[in-house]
Structures are given as C-alpha cells and as structure tokens.
Amino acid sequence: MVTIKSKKEIELMREACKVVALTYQELEKKIKPGMSTWELDQIAEKKMRSLGAIPAEKGYDIGIRGVPPFPATLCISINDEVIHGIPSKNRIIKEGDVVSIDTVALKNGYNGDAARTFLIGKASKEAERLVKVTKQAFFEGIQYAKAGNRIGDVCHAIGEYVHSQGYSVIREFQGHGIGKEMHEDPGIPNYGKPGRGIRLEPGMTLAIEPMVIAGKPNILELEDGWTIITEDGSLAAHYENTILITEKEPEILTML
C-alpha cells in the first residue's frame, strides 16, 4: 500500500533527508585516492550519528538464508560494481575510479535515501559521460513526478533517456516508496510504459534511482550475497534522491 504522508510526517522526512545530504557533503570533501572504502564508511557513520540519526543500512537483513545482514553504513560500489558493494579496509580507492555510494539515514522513525557517484581525480571521458547521463536520467524522470501523472510516466522517461544515450538500465533492481520503512510501495523501475501504474498524489515520498550500465544490462551477484556487478565488466553509475510529490513541482528532499 502506498502511504500518503501528513504534514508532520513530511517534516520528519525532511529532517532524515537533510542528514543524508549533509553526509554526502562531508563525503565529497573527504573522498580521495589512497583511502579505503572502510574509512569512508566510518566518516559517514560518524556524521549521521552526530546529526541524531542512525545508519539504516547497517544491519539491514534481506531475509535470505545464508546472506548476512549488511555490515556497513554505506554501499560503496566501484567501477563495474553496480550497487551494494561492501566497504572494506582492503578496498583502496584509486585515481580514475568511478565510486557509487548509496546510503539511508533513519531519524525520528523516518528514512531518507540517496545515492551519488563520484569520479576520483582524473577520470576517463567515458566515465565522465556515464556519470553525467546517470544524474540527468533522474532529472528526466522527475519532470513527470507530478500529481495526476502515473508512476510509469517517470519510469518511461528514465529508461528512454538512458537508452537514447547508448546505455542500459538494470531491470532486477528499482526505486521505491520510502517513509517509516526503507522500502515501501510503489516499486519504481527505470523502464516502463507511460500511463501505467499508480497515479501520483501529493504527500507521496519516493526514492527514484537510475542505475546505469555503460555496456549490456546483464548483471551478476558476488558470493557475498550483496555486491552486484556488470557481467561484461563495463562501468556502472548510480544516482538517487528522495522526493516529495506536491501540488506543483516535486520537491527533492535529499539536496541542500
């Protein structure tokens, strides 16, 4: 069931989402070649907790036997890793890397969710273009995130834009509603047909997240049960914000 947030709930969502935005602001200042993904994770957790929030992804359990709960604050995915990479003291960020980070902050019972992809130092032109297109795909989608439109209008706009740029979207993972739960209805794939799905209403909060691959859309799951990589080894990027459907234009809650 899709939840419509009250004015009070929306204010609580804004607080959680501001924590996420401030965490990314801190990460953007600190991320550099030579540091481990574990170090980045520690910076993010410290920042969230200093702002009165807790890292919602830490300990998140998908309920699949044999897959342990996620152990960290951040999902950090590098180069051909699409999503859900696990931070490690042994994973060192290098010059030219494409580093996608996804995180969720829980504050006062509500979640804020966003993802960013960072280019480390001097990256390739291919990497620069991929990251730019992935971010733009989000903005192409939210042009249709207006009351009265359908969720399929958003999904279609994202997919069509990405494909027009010669890239692929993954079909196995998608955006989602968000609020008291990290993942709520509706599911928001990065492809679809316009005019389909639920009708958007003021008070809905949605996490819209293009996950874009430079090559073919096929993916593989690593043995850790979390990390998703591109099958052909091509680069991937991820961009996400939590938005609020209003009477007019959508409000992006996870941007300062």
In a domain, 95, yes or no: yes
Domain that includes residue 149, residue range: 7-246
Q: Write the DSSP symbol of residue 70.
A: P
Q: What is the average pLDDT value for the chain, to the nearest integer? A: 98
In a domain, 29, yes or no: yes
In a domain, 157, yes or no: yes
The partner residues of 207 in beta bridges, in order of sequence, read 176, 242
Give Cβ neighbours of residue 223 (< 8 Å, ≥ 6 apart).
none
Q: Round to whole Å and give the CA distance between 253 and 233.
A: 33
The partner residues of 113 in beta bridges, in order of sequence, read 104
Q: What is the pLDDT of residue 116?
A: 98
**What average pLDDT values come out for the chain (256 residues) when binned by 10 residues?**
97 98 98 98 98 98 94 98 98 98 98 98 97 98 98 98 98 98 98 97 98 98 97 98 98 98
Which pTM does this prediction carry?
0.97
Q: What angle do CA 125, 254, 2 make, to 5 degrees?
A: 115
CA distances from 92 to 122, 158, 174, 190 (A): 16, 32, 28, 30
In a domain, 60, yes or no: yes
Are 112 and 11 in contact, with CB atoms under 8 Å apart?
no
In a domain, 253, yes or no: no
Both tokens of residue 2?
Answer: 């899709």
In a domain, 105, yes or no: yes
In a domain, 251, yes or no: no
In a domain, 1, yes or no: no
Give the CATH number for residue 63.
3.90.230.10
Q: Round to whole Å and give the CA distance between 1 and 103.
A: 24
Residue 37's CB: how many other CB atoms inside 10 A?
24
Name the domain count of the chain: 1
